[in-house]
Structure 1
Amino acid sequence: MARFLTIVLLLHVSLMVVALVDCLSAPERGIRSLPRAAWIFLILLASPVGAFAWILLGKPLSPAPPRPVRRHGVERRRSMRPFGPEDDAAFIAGLAANLRRVDGD
């Protein structure tokens, strides 16, 4: 029984710490429902209900990921730069030129 209570206490404290750190690091403009100070008191004094309330009602909503740009019916990436060296035609051409030069010597 003592082991079970220790695990429950550890989960309780860790949930409270995570909610408190998340509340303190959230941007002020993104906090919903209550001001930051009220959320801190709620997390500390009404835990674990306050921590769950913060996660469900107060935590800022995550921004949606940017969607691809559609131009003339074709989806394109926002950045047209190559992502890796194998996608860069100039890099591959330079490798081929170096291999020809080394093989020619």
Structure 2
Amino acid sequence: PETYPGPDRLAVAVGTDDAARATLTVELTRTDQPLVRLRNQVQQCERIRVSRSGTASTVTTELEQAPQVDADDAMALRRTVAPDVGGAGLTQSMSS
């Protein structure tokens, strides 16, 4: 969905846990497009390949059960980035 910058349209919070070497980033954004547009896009294209500077990765997006919230619409997804070449611990997953 298309977003527009501005303090009334975007909020970001970041939390870190040094002991677990984990980071949580939460981004809330306001859009003029309905979430169904993004949901349909994910359903049509669950896997993409990206490359930069000679390295490539596969990004897989899976729709998950949407949270029960008091909102116009909600969705949940899980993205996994797997590099073509790498070792243990290089695959990253994030839930949104």
Same fold, TM exceeding 0.5? no
Q: Which of the pair has more CA radius of gyration?
A: 1
- TM-score of the two chains, using structure 1 as the length reference: 0.24
Indicate the structure with greater helix content: 1
Indicate the structure with greater strand content: 2
- TM-score of the two chains, using structure 2 as the length reference: 0.25
